Structure 1
Amino acid sequence: MPYLIPSYFLIIEESNLDDLRSDIWSDTPVSAYLKVKNITYTIDIAYRGSYTRKFRKRSFRIEFINPNRCSGARIIHLNAEYRDPSLMRNKLSFDFFQDLGVLSPNSHHINLTRNGSFKGVYLQLESVDDLFLKKRGLPSGPIYYAVNNNANFSLTRDEKKKKSLLSGYRRVLGTKSDDDLLHELIHKINTTSLSDFPNEIPHHLNIDTFLRWLVGAVCTMNNDGFTHNYALYRNNETGLFEIIPWDYDATWGRKVDGGLMEHNYVPIKGKKDNHLCRLLLKVPEFRKLYRNILEETLETKFTVKYLENKVISLHESLRPHILLDPYKKKTIDTFDKEPEFIFQFIRKRNSYLKKRLNKLD
């Protein structure tokens, strides 16, 4: 099927736009309207992101007020992808995680026009919330966003004891009583002996999906995603936590500023700052499972052959719209080189990881 890029029309009063611009770090929304297809929604809109708020092209968080659902979503995120010259890395990553069997947001590019002026191509991201679970037929359960580098599954950060085991996490679904479950997970990770680890931790964590997430993070080389830029969901039926990736634009060989990241920057075991990854890979049976998943992925899914059609199809679909994007059209030459840039990264990264599989023996 062709990859269609729909148009969204944002209508916002100038006074509300001025309020939005007056403090780019504020999360307080303003009222506006968003027309999608033939329906005009009353919305609340605010900027989203951290360092990206400084960019000329900013990202948004949109909540639908009336009607309060748009294509089954209550909240969506419109990412500007300003520093990614391909505008594809987030989507490629989330689709890749889904192929690996990891819970991951759906994503789709859209064109955004504000008050009659075209503002360019954005990536719409699904919000990780109760509706995320409902769409997938998953049981209810608390969801936590890892909002800073304190979310490293450790008692400390930079050798300093953290004030709380929940430091670095923000609960977005669930109740205060659910905090005890996350507290218990982190406590068990840090107090269970290595000999008891393989018996104890599987009672709290879905080991298979966590290791699949680690494979995805290591292959795509998200240097920024091991201690934040993820969410945790606890399945109330299984009693197990699962990890969900978030914000994967600085991947596939590019840094957060869009510059080159060498293919060997992230080790095969991930970043050591993630205490849980480090402990899991000390356990022979978990390390063997990780190696098996990674080895299969390097042979099947993390290859140019597997990803080529997706990359080229996305690129060809986006190009006519990039030519009109006021923030991106001047860099069309770089955009045109991105498919081969991504393919070269896959080749080099794949080879690098294959040569280091013996480190997992």
Structure 2
Amino acid sequence: MKLFIFIIFLSSFLHANVIINEIMFNPSGNDDFEWIELYNSGSNSIPLDGWKLKDGIKFSFDSQHEIEGDGYLVLARNSSDFSFAYPHVKCSGNFKGKLSNKGEKITLINSSGILADSVAYGVNGTWPRVAFNGGASLERISTESPADSMADWPPSHSSSAWYLVETTLKIKRPKIKLSTILKGNYTIDDFKITSINGTNNLFPNGDFESGIPPIKVSSSYIAELTEKSHSGKYALQIQSTKNVSRIQLKLPNVFNKNSKYKLSFWIKSNGKIDTLKLFVPGNKYEIIDLDRERKFGGTPGAANSNAKRNPRPAISSLEHLPFFPQPESQITVKAILGPAGTNANVKLFYKKGLTGEFVSVSMTANITNKNCFSADIPALSKNEYYDYYVIAEINNHFTRYPCEFDSPSTKRCYSLEIKNAPEIPVIAFWLNERKPGKRNFVSRNKYKICDVAIKNKIYRGVKVRYRGAHSFRYGIKKSYNLKFGKSMRPDLFEKGEYENAAVLNAMAFDYSFMREKLSFELFRREGVPASDNFYVRGYKNGSLRGLFLLTERVNGDFLEKKNLNGNGVIISPQNRKGFKPKACKIIYEDDGVDGLALLKKLYKDLVPIPKRNIAELTIRKNNLLTNFFINKLIEFTAVNVIIQKRDGIVANFYAYCDANQEKWEMIPWDHDFTWGLSINGFHLNDNSISPFYGSRAHKQAVRNYVSPINDALFWPETGTGSEITQDFRTQYLNTLTNIITKQLSSGKLEEFVDTIVTSIQYEAELEIKMRHPRANSKATFETAINNLKSSMNSREEYLLRESKKLISK
């Protein structure tokens, strides 16, 4: 047993020399150019037979894989594509899966099943955006220490990469000029000019294998061949000795002045030259930004461009306390460093507002925890903020947190005055500062960029706008739409691979409480991914705006996840002109009858009416009953109608009936015109059906046709829509009963409705706490609650009664 333990220990010690050294997870363009690099820091070769990569990607090494001492092994997703991009570097492959552009874990297991190395890039901390934007790799900065934080993985330098330049142009005179504005060297190779559809290179000796082609060089340039080529043996190296220099390549007289040609070549800079100017007579100057157009970066099979013997200190977290400092109160900034940070020198840099200057202060290590550093900074006045970051130094190796490559590259601390009911969570957003004299306000037609603070975290660059028409229709309170970028991954939402959006609903008691609760509960029961909805106090630009219900709303990207084109599922994404998210394309058929044609006929009858005309509506209603299966129409609209009046939950989700599988589906709906949606009206175009949105004609049709029918079905005491017969109403409600019973089975709807009634009183109590924090008299408190409850809209009360009637049938 002792011998066995010793062997395992020795094996683990030897295998510890093999580490994950470089990761190309987001090459520009094609994911097939992904690769990772292993490095053996020992002096002896190590066979990799039986080793495995798992988690983010999967690969099993066999007896043909061995890594030499002080050597590298590159593993590619597609070895053919890798060889094209890096022709002088050997690789193995192909690994299964692909590296996530948002971050994930890669694990290396040795032949004994023991962990050899593991890297979780992009998961915790602020990782360099240069690599995440594409083209640069993540390089391990030191092979002599663990690499478990973003400080250990800077992006590769651009000077290490060959870039592919491609353009289309006319050649009116046989010459091409290349100019630089900085001193330095650059190398070009595989210079190629072809016709638009051709492959024959019209530039002789473009691979430079036969020497230097006809070239005119200014006195500030030196042109010579080099063996450091992109392909083949030679490439053309140009050395610029002045800041402004150019070369001129002479072309053969084989070009048609009126034809277009494709020009391509590979270029590699020494790092000093980052901009090249390309000019062909008859065309505009073209600026080649080498940093922006990086194609195949990194240093596969070679020493990392960022390699250092001593690692930088790692900073795992940075925060300010309290999260919402009260005006004129002390603020403490705390930084946590990694194990090597006990001897670090740490400085905090902070500035006030947009125009302030950064001030530095030394941070002090905690007496009991030497890895924890803190510093106090001056108090803020009401609605002011600080931007701040820290720099840690050990042996002249520096780490900045947040990373200088990130955007934003600072953390932010806002002062917020919170007086009453601290037990209610807070959400606050601040619009980004504008130039003096410019108005800064939220609109309902266009998203504005803001900072959102919630659950002790500030999200920068969130989009916000008013949530459409009902925000203006119901009282002075306004509701908001918030859009969080894909990289933000708010903790309050599930971490899906799509951009998250939130609805911040103002709590007007006669409108929002019950409907939002009902809609959310239905979404959750239908399996739509949403973590929760909860009540918050909302602040805008430091001012209290009232009580809100915060609800997740997954945007249009979710449609792609639900899309199962073909196989009997009748839904697929469809792009709509004017906005990015996808609309729903539904082909609706019913037992061999062309339901789509019937819907088209229905649509023709839904033209706008200048004023409500009961007689005209009756004719259209009869046309509808004659030309469409009433049960299918009911199934298509019922779930929405039972919990809303016209513009309710459909502002968040789109409901449709799968005719093949005879079941309902709820899918998220999100675009900039949610205020114009109504599932109860149809818009047909090119074999698609979707709710009304956008144009005035569609909204007018909804107002004139849908609303009075809904009134007659569910709100008969209002006196509108009297042309709807009792038989029609009975059939509608009976069908609705069956649908609701199937969707919310086992008698849970009654319990569900009772929960909603209880929540209304709870929400009223929250509102009273905010508005009347000193109402400690129980009688006064109960009177205020009863007044609020009695002011609820009669239609909402009727909805509760009708829901219970459905259950009792």
- Residue type matched to 2:466 in 1? Y
For the pair 1:79 / 2:497, whether they are aligned, the reply is: no
Show the counterpart of 2:735: 289
Q: Distance in 2 between matches of 1:352 and 1:310?
A: 19
User: Are 1:268 and 2:693 matched, yes or no?
Assistant: no
Aligned pair partner of 2:642 in 208, 211, 215: 215
Question: Is 2:499 the partner of 1:110?
Answer: no
Write 1 or 2 for the structure with the bigger share of strand.
2
Code of the residue aligned with 2:483 in structure 1: it is: E
Q: Name the structure 2 match of 1:157.
A: none
User: Structure 1 stretches of 5 or more lacking a match?
Assistant: 145-165, 248-264, 272-277, 325-331
Secondary structure of the 1:174 match is strand
TM-aligned CA deviation for residue 195 of structure 1: 7.7
Deviation at 1:288, TM superposition (A): 3.8
Deviation at 1:190, TM superposition (A): 4.6
Question: Is the alpha carbon distance of 1:336 and 1:103 closer, same or farther for their aligned partners in structure 2, counting shifts above 3 Å?
Answer: farther
Match of 2:550 in 1: 124
2:600 is the counterpart of 1:174: no
Given the alignment of the two structures, is residue 39 of structure 1 paired with residue 457 of structure 2, yes or no?
Answer: yes
Shift in alpha-carbon separation, 1:102–1:314, aligned structure 2, 3 A:
farther
Out of 58, 70, 85, the position equivalent to 2:478 is: 58
Change (3 A) 1:97 1:186: farther
Aligned residue in 1 for 2:108? none
- Please report how far the alpha carbon of residue 211 of structure 1 lies from its aligned counterpart in structure 2 after TM superposition: 2.9
Select the residue among 591, 596, 599 that pairs with 1:189: 599
On the 8 A contact 2:427/2:536 being kept in 1, the answer is: yes
Instruction: Please name the residue that 1:310 is paired with.
Output: 759
Contact 1:100 / 1:216 at 8 angstroms: preserved in 2? no
What SS does structure 2 have at the residue aligned with 1:301?
helix
Q: CA deviation at 1:212?
A: 3.3
Question: Does the 8 Å CA contact 1:303/1:346 hold for their aligned counterparts?
Answer: no
Question: Which TM-score applies when normalising by structure 1?
Answer: 0.53
Rate the CA distance shift 1:123–1:346 in 2: closer, same or farther, 3 A. closer
- 1:36 is displaced (CA, Å) by 1.8
- 1:22-33 to structure 2, matched below 5 A, reads 24-25=443-444, 27-33=445-451
- Aligned to 1:266, the other structure's residue is in SS state helix
Partner letter of residue 310 of structure 1? S
1:249-268 maps to which residues of 2 (within 5 A)? 266-268=711-713
Does the aligned pair in 2 maintain the 1:210–1:242 contact within 8 Å? no
What is the CA–CA distance in structure 2 between the aligned matches of 1:197 and 1:185, rounded to whole Å? 8
Shift of 1:84: 3.8
Pair 1:93 & 2:530 matched: no
CA distance in 2, matches of 1:283, 1:339: 29
Counterparts in 2 of 1:122 and 1:185: CA distance versus 1, 3 Å = farther
> Which stretch shows the higher mean deviation, 34-43 or 69-78?
69-78
Structure 2: distance between partners of 1:179 and 1:124: 29
In structure 1, how many angstroms separate the alpha carbons of the residues matched to 2:791 and 2:466? Answer: 30
Point out the more displaced range, 284-293 or 118-127. Answer: 284-293
Unmatched 5+ stretches in structure 2? 1-422, 565-570, 589-593, 603-623, 676-709, 717-723, 774-781
Contact 1:109 1:122 in 2 (8 A): yes
Report if the CA contact (8 A) 1:214-1:270 is conserved. Answer: no
3-state DSSP of counterpart to 1:319 = helix
The answer for the alignment partner of 1:262 in structure 2 is none
Q: CA deviation at 1:49?
A: 1.2
> Separation in 1 of the partners of 2:793 and 2:448?
42
In structure 1, C-alpha distance between the alignment counterparts of 2:523 and 2:798, rounded to whole Å = 23
Tell me the distance in 1 between the aligned counterparts of 2:752 and 2:486. Answer: 44
Between the aligned partners of 1:185 and 1:19, the Cα distance in structure 2 is 51
2:190 corresponds to: none
Q: 1:67 to 1:283 in 2, by over 3 A?
A: same
Residue 342 of structure 1 deviates from its aligned partner by 4.9
Inter-partner Cα distance in structure 2 for 1:302 and 1:46 = 35
Alpha carbons 1:304, 1:346 under 8 Å: kept: no
- Taking a change above 3 Å as real, the CA distance of residues 242 and 352 of structure 1, as seen in their structure-2 partners, is closer
How far apart are residue 60 of structure 1 and its match? 2.3
- Cα deviation code 1:203-256 (max 9, x no counterpart): xx8x65743333334xxxx2x449975753568995987567988xxxxxxxxx
The question of whether the paired residues in 1 share the 8 Å contact of 2:538 and 2:546 is answered with: yes
Counterpart AA for 1:46: R
Distance in 1, Cα, partners of 2:523 & 2:501:
21
Counterparts of 2:547 and 2:448 in 1: how far apart (Å)?
Answer: 22
Secondary structure of 2:712's counterpart equals coil
Question: 1:94: how far off?
Answer: 1.8
* Distance 1:111-1:13 versus aligned 2 partners, 3 A rule: same
Deviates more, 1:30-39 or 1:237-246: 237-246
In the other structure, the counterpart of 1:12 is 431
Distance 2:728 2:650 in 1: 22
CA distance in 2, matches of 1:142, 1:173: 12
Equivalent AA in structure 2 for residue 6 of structure 1: P
Secondary structure at 2:518's aligned position in 1? helix
Q: Name the CA shift for 1:126/1:268 in 2 (closer, same or farther; >3 Å).
A: same
Aligned partner of residue 267 in structure 1, secondary structure: helix
Contact residue 110 and residue 123 of structure 1 kept, 8 A = yes
Identify the residue that residue 274 of structure 1 maps to in structure 2.
none
Residue among 443, 462, 468 paired with 1:49 = 468
CA deviation profile, 1:105-150 (whole Å, cap 9, x unmatched): 864322223344333222223225246669xx95565579xxxxxx
Structure richer in helix, relative to its length? 1
Q: Which residue of 1 aligns with 2:191?
A: none
Question: For residues 20 and 125 of structure 1, do their structure 2 counterparts lie closer, same or farther at Cα, with a shift above 3 Å needed?
Answer: farther
Distance in 2 (alpha carbons) for counterparts of 1:86 and 1:227: 12
1:1-29 Cα offsets, whole Å, 9 max, x none, are xxx742123233442895443x835x332
Counterpart of 2:770 in structure 1: which amino acid? Answer: H
Q: What is the CA–CA distance in structure 1 between the aligned matches of 2:428 and 2:596, rounded to whole Å?
A: 44
282-291 or 305-314, larger mean C-alpha shift? 282-291
Distance in 1, Cα, partners of 2:488 & 2:439: 23
**In 2, are the aligned partners of 1:232 and 1:241 still within 8 Å (CA)?**
no
| C-alpha distance in structure 2 between counterparts of 1:66 and 1:228, whole Å | 24
Are the structure 2 counterparts of residues 96 and 339 from structure 1 closer, same or farther at C-alpha, using a change threshold of 3 Å? farther
Deviation at 1:41, TM superposition (A): 0.9
Q: Distance in 2 between matches of 1:127 and 1:333?
A: 35
Quickly say closer, same or farther: Cα 1:74–1:194, change in 2 above 3 A: same
Bigger mean CA offset, 27-36 vs 93-102: 93-102
Q: Tell whether the 8 Å contact from 2:504 to 2:550 is kept in structure 1 after alignment.
A: yes
The one-letter code of the counterpart of 1:88 is F
Q: 1:115 to 1:323 in 2, by over 3 A?
A: same
Partners of 2:528 and 2:715 lie apart in 1 by 19
Q: Secondary structure at the match of 1:88?
A: helix
Q: Is the 8 A contact 1:96 1:216 kept in 2?
A: no
**Letter of the structure 1 residue corresponding to residue 761 of structure 2:** I
Q: Which amino acid aligns with 1:75?
A: A
Corresponding letter in the other structure for 2:763: L
In the aligned structure 1, how far is the partner of 2:748 from the partner of 2:664? 28
Would the aligned equivalents of 2:505 and 2:548 in 1 still touch at CA under 8 Å? yes
Q: Which amino acid aligns with 1:63?
A: K
Is contact 2:598-2:627 (8 Å) kept? no
Q: 1:104 to 1:113 in 2, by over 3 A?
A: same
- Matches of 1:56 and 1:286, distance apart in 2: 36
Tell me, yes or no, if the aligned pair for 1:35 and 1:41 is still in contact at 8 Å.
yes
TM-score normalized with structure 2 length: 0.28
Instruction: Evaluate the alpha carbon distance shift between residue 5 and residue 185 of structure 1 in structure 2; reply closer, same or farther with a 3 A threshold.
Output: farther
Identity across aligned pairs (percent)?
13
Q: How does 1:238-249 map to 2 (within 5 A)?
A: 242=665
Q: Aligned partners of 2:712, 2:525: CA distance in 1, in Å?
A: 20
Distance 1:8 1:173, change over 3 A: same
Separation of aligned partners in 2, 1:180 and 1:291: 25
